[in-house]
Amino acid sequence: MPALGFFAPRFAAETAPTIFIALAALVIVFGIGVVVVGRRRSAKVKDGGFATQVGAPTVAPAEKPAEQPAEKPSVRETLVKARSSLSGAIATALTRSSITDSTWDELEESLLRADLGVATTTRVLQPLRKLVASKTVTEPGELMTALKNEMRGQLGRVSRELRFDDSLQAPNIWLVVGVNGSGKTTTIGKLGAQQRKLGRSVLMAAGDTFRAAAGDQLQTWAQRSGAEFVRGAQGGDPSSVIFDGIARATARKIDLVLADTAGRLQNNNNLMDELSKVRRVADKGEGEVTEVLLVIDATTGQNGLNQAKQFSEATQVTGVVLTKLDGSSKGGIVFAIETELGIPIKLVGLGETIDDLVEFDADEFVDALFV
């Protein structure tokens, strides 16, 4: 069949483009059909099937208006949310018509549950028992007011300002210490960003050489806030990284060095030795260590007091940052740290973003316990 044999390729050559175009047109028409039907269906689903009638114009449903960023809850709201379990106990005590043994039991229990610890709880309740015994206070409502005042009084006496010496001709150095996972690196990130907003130049030194990821994490924060960044080799000497950081900051006239440190368990003597060395080295070079911030996770409980003691012995802690208070109904450890160790709580972490680091406000904190 030579004729056909000859004809077939010619036919193919001549008609192929036409067939191709026809096929393409079919695909397009089919595609449009699918899209239209799909849109109708999805419109129905979105309106619960009520608004889009069959035969109604197939206009794609209007885009949902861009969601307004939800108002960020205030510090107080965040605290109150975290501590609703505690406030229940205090509320129960309040509903009694008079002050009975149960009132004291409930108060004691709720204060312990909030992590005030036995010593602080006793210290707070002692003067109240006297007030009740002498009939100066007779009603549960008055007792709550007195309790609130007593708790405020325990906290109110210290300066919580971050120490930054403007007159220094060299960098201020803030060391950040604490156990693993307490929130040191995150706190440095937030703090650095805030200090940059205040107009200060910042250098972050990755003194946690124990884990490579810690350096990367800090570098990301440094980039985000426009801070300089210095790191060393993994497993290297943290003091030398911090020393280098201080030297670079001095050479570039940077105002503030934020030094991250490693935080394996605090009962590891090597860590404490290492941190003592970091402190000594930081003191030795140019610049001055004006803050040593101990970061404590609010969910740590009474162990936070031990941490504060040990870290303070090694590095002379000047302030505490209490993190993760957004997720904890505890935090009562602040009383013990301030009254027993005399270390002021300076900052509070209420989440994972830059704005979630705020100054500790004792009145707000105590108020939130009572809501």
Ligand X SMILES: Nc1nc2c(ncn2[C@@H]2O[C@H](COP(=O)(O)OP(=O)(O)O)[C@@H](O)[C@H]2O)c(=O)[nH]1
323 binds, among ligand X, Mg ion, none (CB under 5 to 8 A by kind): ligand X
Residues 300-339 close enough to bind ligand X by CB under 6 A:
323-324, 326-327
Decide: is 261 part of the binding site for Mg ion (CB under 5 A).
no
The footprint of ligand X on this chain (CB under 6 A) covers a number of residues equal to 19
Three-state SS string over the chain comes to: CHHHHHHHHHHHHHHHHHHHHHHHHHHHHHHHHHHHHHHHHHHHHHCCCCCCCCCCCCCCCCCCCCCCCCCCCCHHHHHHHHCHHHHHHHHHHHHCCCCCHHHHHHHHHHHHHCCCHHHHHHHHHHHHHHHHHCCCCCCHHHHHHHHHHHHHHHHCCCCCCCCCCCCCCCCEEEEEECCCCCCHHHHHHHHHHHHHHCCCCEEEEEECCCCHHHHHHHHHHHHHHCCEEECCCCCCCHHHHHHHHHHHHHHCCCCEEEEEECCCCCCCHHHHHHHHHHHHHHHHCCCEEEEEEEEEEHHHCCHHHHHHHHHHHHHCCCEEEEECHHHCCCCCHHHHHHHHHCCCEEEEECCCCHHHEEECCHHHHHHHHHC
One symbol per residue from 268 to 297: x for binding ligand X (CB under 6 A), - otherwise; what is it?
A: ---------------------------x--
CB of 91 to ligand X, least distance (A): 26
Specify the residue, 144 or 258, whose C-beta has the smaller distance to ligand X: 258
Work out which of 80, 89, 103, 184 binds ligand X, going by CB under 6 A: 184
Rounded Cα distance, 51 and 60, in Å: 12
Scan residues 87-116 and list those touching ligand X (CB under 6 A). none
The minimum distance between CB 365 and Mg ion, in angstroms, equals 26
Residue 239 binding partner per list ligand X, Mg ion, none, with a CB distance cut-off of 5 to 8 Å that depends on partner kind? none
Read off the tokens for 356.
Answer: 């979630």
CB of 185 to Mg ion, least distance (A): 3
- The residues in 284-323 that bind Mg ion, with binding defined as CB under 5 A, are none
Q: Which of 103, 195, 351, 369 binds ligand X (CB under 6 A)?
A: 351
Pattern of binders to Mg ion over 191-230, x per CB under 5 A? Answer: -----------------x-----x----------------
Identity of the residue, 108 or 274, whose beta carbon is nearer to ligand X in the bound complex:
274
Q: Which residue lies nearer to ligand X by CB, 106 or 356?
A: 356
What is the closest distance, in whole angstroms, from the C-beta atom of residue 51 to ligand X in the complex?
41
Q: How far is the CB of 178 from ligand X (least distance, A)?
A: 6
- Shortest distance, CB of residue 216 to Mg ion, whole angstroms? 10
315 binds, among Mg ion, ligand X, none (CB under 5 to 8 A by kind): none
Residue 183 contacts ligand X per CB under 6 A: yes
Q: Measure Cα distances from 249 to 192, 260, 271 in Å.
A: 14, 15, 26
Residues that bind Mg ion (CB under 5 A): 184-185, 208, 214
Residues that bind ligand X (CB under 6 A): 178, 180-186, 263, 295, 323-324, 326-327, 349-352, 356
